[in-house]
Amino acid sequence: MKIFKNISLKPYNTFGIDVKAKQFVSVNNIDELKYVLLSSKKKTKLILGGGSNILLTKPFDGIVIHINFKGIEIIFENEDFVYVKANAGENWHEFVIWCINNDFGGIENLSLIPGNVGTAPIQNIGAYGIELKDVFESCEAISLENHEIKTFSKSACNFGYRNSIFKQEAKGKYIITSVIFKLTKQNHQLHINYGTITSELKSMHIEKPSIQDISKAVISIRESKLPNPKIIGNSGSFFKNPIISKNQFNQLLENFNDIPSYPVNDEEVKVPAGWLIEKAGFKGKRFGDYGIHKNQALVLVNYGNAKGKDILKLSKLIQITIKRLFDISIEAEVNIL
């Protein structure tokens, strides 16, 4: 384990923003992590997983702790279910593929999401009708205060749309070290009703899809809409989809009869921020090295050497415009530092 000084964080954030960290250390197990925590008590810390949900707007004047714990193991199984424990530093998509290759179901709709296993519960990652909470059993996390390991059950995590206890009361207090998933071994519950999956499977000429087919369909949809961060820097959806009252939605329908929505409860609906941003004319706009992706307006992109500050400014402009045009506040999903 080596502590590096004045290192560029460009390879460690999927936005590809080039800012320096005063110190950087990659830890491979809990003992190394405890050692680093003990020896850097007074320093400002940034805990980094896959770096896929962060916008760096300035140099980091503390220690970056990169969680690199690897390992996947089956901890219990019966005829129907398997409980798999994955360590926090496992790449999310590689873990999904491992599950699919073993024919463990439940996670296939979450194929190709960037990031690591340990950061997935923080914002309850979700796509194509499934959220992490649907396959989550529990996770272990180390307390930054007393360095004790605590187990969080599903209910303790208080999962919501792109939300969990780790973004609320427990924010900045724990580092997730491993996650246990409950997956199916037979009678897989397939979720193919999310519009584009059905049509993708049709175009693949598949009538009775397996979890492998669904994963392929999701990969194909994501590749067609979302930029590959290895080629164009980005952090996936920059904003959350806003939740508005049905009253406000009905008023908007009078002016915009094509506005899509997803049900939330009796009083509220969720509106796709991507639709609002496209309607506001931002989709595909490029300002030098940064802009809004041409296929998905929810994704802000870095074409090369964009500064985090510029992307932040653009996000503020988008927020103000959406507020002015639709009287809707859209909130960043990405953590801004």
Q: Return residues touching ligand EPU (CB under 6 A).
A: 127-128, 225-226, 236-237, 240-241, 260, 272, 274-275, 278, 283, 296-298, 333
- Of the residues 162, 222, 235, 261, only one is catalytic, namely 162
Residue 59 Cα distances to 40, 51, 237, 281, angstroms: 18, 15, 23, 32
**Which of residues 164 and 241 has its CB atom nearest to ligand EPU in the complex?**
241
**Which of residues 121 and 236 has its CB atom nearest to ligand EPU in the complex?**
236
Q: For residue 217, give the 3-state DSSP assignment.
A: helix
Count of other CB atoms within 10 angstroms of residue 196: 15
- At residue 201, what is the residue type? L
CB 88 within 8 A of CB 116: yes
Q: For residue 222, give the 3-state DSSP assignment.
A: helix
- Of the residues 90, 140, 200, 333, only one is catalytic, namely 333
**Which of residues 16 and 27 has its CB atom nearest to ligand EPU in the complex?**
16
Closest distance between ligand EPU and the C-beta of residue 207, in Å?
A: 23
Closest distance between ligand EPU and the C-beta of residue 272, in Å?
A: 3
Closest distance between ligand EPU and the C-beta of residue 2, in Å?
A: 32
**Which of residues 27 and 115 has its CB atom nearest to ligand EPU in the complex?**
115
**Parallel, antiparallel, or unpaired for β 335-336 and 54-55?**
parallel
Q: For residue 314, give the 3-state DSSP assignment.
A: helix
Which token pair is 222? 């994501």
Q: Which of 75, 74, 111 is nearest to 92 (CA)?
A: 111
Query: How many angstroms separate the CA atoms of 316 and 45, rounded?
Result: 26
- Of the residues 178, 237, 261, 315, only one is catalytic, namely 237
Residue nearest to ligand EPU (CB): 236
Answer yes or no: 162 catalytic. Answer: yes
Closest distance between ligand EPU and the C-beta of residue 220, in Å?
A: 13
Active site residues: 162, 237, 333
